[in-house]
Chains A and B, each alone.
Chain A
Amino acid sequence: EIVLTQSPGTLSLSPGERATLSCRASQSISSSYLAWYQQKPGQAPRLLIYGVSSRATGIPDRFSGSGSGADFTLVISRLEPEDFAVYYCQHYGSSRAFGQGTKVEIK
């Protein structure tokens, strides 16, 4: 079973700053089955990134995903007010496991 560990738990940043979120898997993820979801308070999650680096429809290009093997990163190049939320990584291969989430909060 693959376990995903996200860091940091909370990221305190100001609008306009760059956010870097990490997702580390307990073993190498084959076939790039790594996705990122965004969840705002009181709302359902939304798919942001799939296949490590492909943006879902309508996702702005300030969101980018990268990584390989067991280490993955989500970068938000310049935080907009609407980007403050919780972000989850997920292995959508056999395990369907989620990381515990990183909260991006306003500093």
Chain B
Amino acid sequence: EVQLVESGGGLVQPGRSLRLSCTASGFTFGDSAMSWFRQAPGKGLEWVGFIRIKAYGATTEYAASVKDRFMISRDDSKSIAYLQMNSLKTEDTAVYYCTKYSSGLAWSWGQGTLVTVSS
């Protein structure tokens, strides 16, 4: 069974950084692209970005709203995907979800971790 567990969320001040982790199990992590989505309180879903597998250079793509501030990476030896968030803004406040990603689709989701950006 695919399991994805996000961690690292919390309260952070505007302008600061935070790194989220997504620990995966139940599938061959190195063979799967991974993606992050987010959902602001009471709002809809937003795709944040994704990372390809190493065979495709582990290249990344990002939404315009986070490009140049957020970075996704992966450690296949630990089955962990990361979301490094820099220069955080109040509008980045959301539940962040990690997903197993293929062909543009989020096939399996973690339970999410809440990030609150506030002074």
**A45 with B106: CB separation less than 8 A:** yes
**Interface residues contributed by chain B, number (CB under 8 Å):** 16
Distance (Å) between the CB of B22 and the closest chain A CB?
12
Q: Give the chain A neighbours of B44 by CB distance below 8 A.
A: 88, 98-101
Q: Give the chain B neighbours of A45 by CB distance below 8 A.
A: 37, 45, 97, 106, 109
- Interface on chain A toward B: helix, strand, loop, or mixed SS? loop
Known: A50-B105, A56-B107, A101-B44. A96 touches B112 (CB 8 A): no
Q: Give the chain A neighbours of B106 by CB distance below 8 A.
A: 37, 45, 47
CA distance A93 to B107 in the complex (A): 15
Q: How large is the interface on A (under 10, 10 to 19, 20 to 34, 35 or more residues)?
A: 20 to 34
- What are 17 of the A-B contact pairs (CB < 8 Å)? A44-B97, A44-B109, A44-B110, A44-B111, A45-B45, A46-B109, A47-B105, A47-B107, A50-B105, A88-B44, A90-B45, A96-B47, A96-B63, A98-B44, A98-B45, A98-B47, A101-B45
